[in-house]
Each structure stands twice: as structure tokens, then as C-alpha cells.
Amino acid sequence: AQSVAQPEDQVNVAEGNPLTVKCTYSVSGNPYLFWYVQYPNRGLQFLLKYITGDNLVKGSYGFEAEFNKSQTSFHLKKPSALVSDSALYFCAVRDPNYGGSQGNLIFGKGTKLSVKP
Amino acid sequence: NAGVMQNPRHLVRRRGQEARLRCSPMKGHSHVYWYRQLPEEGLKFMVYLQKENIIDESGMPKERFSAEFPKEGPSILRIQQVVRGDSAAYFCASSPRKVADTQYFGPGTRLTVL
């Protein structure tokens, strides 16, 4: 079965410090991996994705994520957090080889990031 | 280039009424997905459509829920005889043709059932 786990419900970081939001996945084949951010009462905004190639992916707003196949992880990182980064972050996976459906994303439960000044 | 549009943004219905949620994909996108987000939870896939075709409805409840994406006009998610448990945020996403393409999300419709 396909699944995504975000083990931390909340991550607290001081402004200017590095941040990491963790994500692990379980799929049968080679995954497509995504990170989205959701601000209160808003839709999801795309941050970055891994399809193939370089394991380190750079995305919007200074975020990056590293695909680690052996650990089945795709942690989101940022070298220096901003207060404005405070939001809900979702990791998602798509397994293009799963059954007959190639469409839907499977989301983790989300991690609330709180950056304090 | 406008993003994914959803309306209404907020919808209040009484138990037993019908709810109609609309989604206009980004220009040039032919794939539409509907997801539901319950409070304090992640998004759950409901249905995947292309123009005039339902590709995957494995996430749709068996009764009361239906979706369409006609040749002309927006995609519609329809919930008949709503119940309180249907209260949630419903998000639509669209993407271009390829499987690896990013899904871009609309702002969502927040349905409240009284």
C-alpha cells in the first residue's frame, strides 16, 4: 500500500535558524515526490518536486528537499527560517506504476511549522 | 495566467440539501482532481477527471457524491442530501497532460452543513 508519513505534527524554529520538516514514504516503484505549503484558509501552494535526477531539489522561497532512496525519505529544508514561513506543510507522493491510476496524490497529514522571532 | 478557480469559496447548506462546487482549471490544463480536507487532517483524493471522462473515482463515497468535467465549462462536484459529516474543505487541482506534472490547487470551497 502506498503511504506518506510526516512524523512531526509541529516543528518550532527560531527565526534565522535552519529548519527541517520530515517526510517518509512507502510506494512500490520509483516515486514522484512533492512538497506543498498551506497558509490559513488558503489552498495549497506548490513548493518543489522530485521526479528523477539530482537527489537535491531546490524550490520556491529558498526551500530545498533531498530525496534519499535507501531511507525512503524526502525531508524539506531551509538554511535560514523566516517568520513568514510559518504555515502547514504537506508532503505528497504519486506512484506512477500503481494499479491503473496515475493521477492522484497521496498526502501526509501535514506538519505545522512555527517560526518565532 | 489565472490560476485554478473555485467557487463558491464558502457554502452553507442544511442537512438534506444539495451542494454544487465548481472548479475551473488553469488554462491549458486538461486534468482535474478533487480532494477533501477534514479538520486537522491531510487531503484525501476523491476523483480524477479529464474532459468528459472520469478516470479514477476510487476515493469518492459510493452514494450521494458525483463529479463531472464537461466539454465546455467548469468541473462540478455534486453532493446530494448533505449530512453534517460532509462539512470540510474541498480542493480542486489541475495539471497538464503528463503524469509527472505538478498539480496546482485552487483556493478551496469550505462547505458547512448545519
A 10 A CB-CB count for B71 gives: 6
Q: What is the mean pLDDT of residues B29-36?
A: 93
Q: For residue range B55-113, list pLDDT tens digits in order.
A: 889 899 999 999 999 999 999 999 999 999 999 999 999 998 766 688 999 999 999 99
CA atoms of B43 and A34, how far apart (whole Å): 13
Cis peptide upstream of residue A79 (ω within 30 degrees of 0): no
Q: Using the beta-carbon criterion (under 8 Å), do B56 and A100 form an inter-chain contact?
A: yes
Could you list the beta-strand ranges (E) of A8-117. Answer: 10-14, 19-21, 24-26, 32-38, 44-50, 56-58, 64-68, 73-78, 87-94, 106-107, 111-116
Q: What is the mean pLDDT of residues A46-70?
A: 94
Q: What is the mean pLDDT of residues A65-76?
A: 95
The number of C-alpha atoms within 13 Å of A11 and in the hemisphere containing its C-beta is 27
Q: Which residues in chain B are closer than 8 Å to A49, comparing Cβ atoms?
A: 102
Q: Using the beta-carbon criterion (under 8 Å), do A51 and B100 form an inter-chain contact?
A: yes
CA atoms of A95 and A32, how far apart (whole Å): 6
Q: Using the beta-carbon criterion (under 8 Å), do A100 and B99 form an inter-chain contact?
A: no
Q: Using the beta-carbon criterion (under 8 Å), do A103 and B43 form an inter-chain contact?
A: no
A88 has pLDDT over 60: yes
Cis peptide upstream of residue B25 (ω within 30 degrees of 0): no
Residue B96's pLDDT is 86
Q: Which amino acid is at B37?
A: Q
| A42, A49, A109: residue with CB nearest B102 | A49
| A41, A104, A108: residue with CB nearest B45 | A104
CA atoms of B3 and A36, how far apart (whole Å): 16
| Closest-approach residue (CA) in chain A for B34 | A104
Residue A41's pLDDT is 77
Q: What is the mean pLDDT of residues A31-36?
A: 93
Residue A63's pLDDT is 97
Q: Which residues in chain B are closer than 8 Å to A102, comparing Cβ atoms?
A: 99
Provide the mean pLDDT of chain A. Answer: 91
In DSSP terms, A102 is beta-bridged to none
Residue A101's pLDDT is 52
Contact B92, B78 (CB under 8 A): no
| A34, A51, A103: residue with CB nearest B48 | A103
| Closest-approach residue (CA) in chain A for B58 | A101
Taking each continuous run of H as one helix and of E as one strand, the counts in chain A are 0, 12
Q: Which amino acid is at A104?
A: N
Determine phi and psi for A61, rounding to 5 degrees. Answer: 60, 25
